[in-house]
Amino acid sequence: MATTQNYSPTAIGIALPGHYNQMEKNISTNNAFWKEFKFNALIDNLSIPIYFENNVQCLTLSERLFGKDSHDRNFAILHVGRGMFCSCIYDGSLYGKNNNLVGEIGHVIKYLAITINNLSLMLDTTRIILHGELFTEPQLSLLMTDLLNKNNTLLSTELPLTVEVKNYADINGAVAACGLCVTKHLLTH
């Protein structure tokens, strides 16, 4: 306990399973559990800045800051779970930040490989990062590889498309929230 007594955070980043509704101080989501979750008590009782953002947007910010290629100016993270959400860094910054519909791809995995190829063309990027617990399944990874190879010839570009699967771990959300906090509190002032 002695090691945490002197810890004085100067800001908090919270990665949300949806979008933050500033007016209601809750999460805009179709998940019944999270829809009713309110942040009033947290906001009212803390005097430090608190930053709220979609978990995939946070993951993208943390990848930009802490990832293996933090100098990459354009890339996308495609998170696949109960739904699909895409978050993009374009020209070094988070893209579509003020529009909650940017990134909402849908709830169909059938067209995932085509979506990946289209994203690479739309964003003028050669790097797509896939993330989600779903990708821990070996059969899904094999199917994705097969679909990507088939669809890569349909929408080929001069540069090869690199698709990476980011290891899924319980701590990813916390690291992602740290990326949000560092970006908002330290890098944008």
Least confident of 42-51, 107-116, 159-168: 107-116
Give residue 182's pLDDT.
94
pLDDT at 88 over 50: yes
Q: Find out whether 103 and 57 touch, Cβ atoms under 8 Å.
A: yes
- Has this prediction a pTM greater than 0.75? no
Tokens of 143: 């199917």
CB 89 within 8 A of CB 73: yes
| pLDDT tens-digit series, residues 93-137 | 888 776 655 666 544 455 677 777 777 777 777 788 888 877 776
Domain(s) labelled CATH 3.30.420.40 in the chain stretch across: 71-165
- Class for the domain spanning 71-165: alpha beta
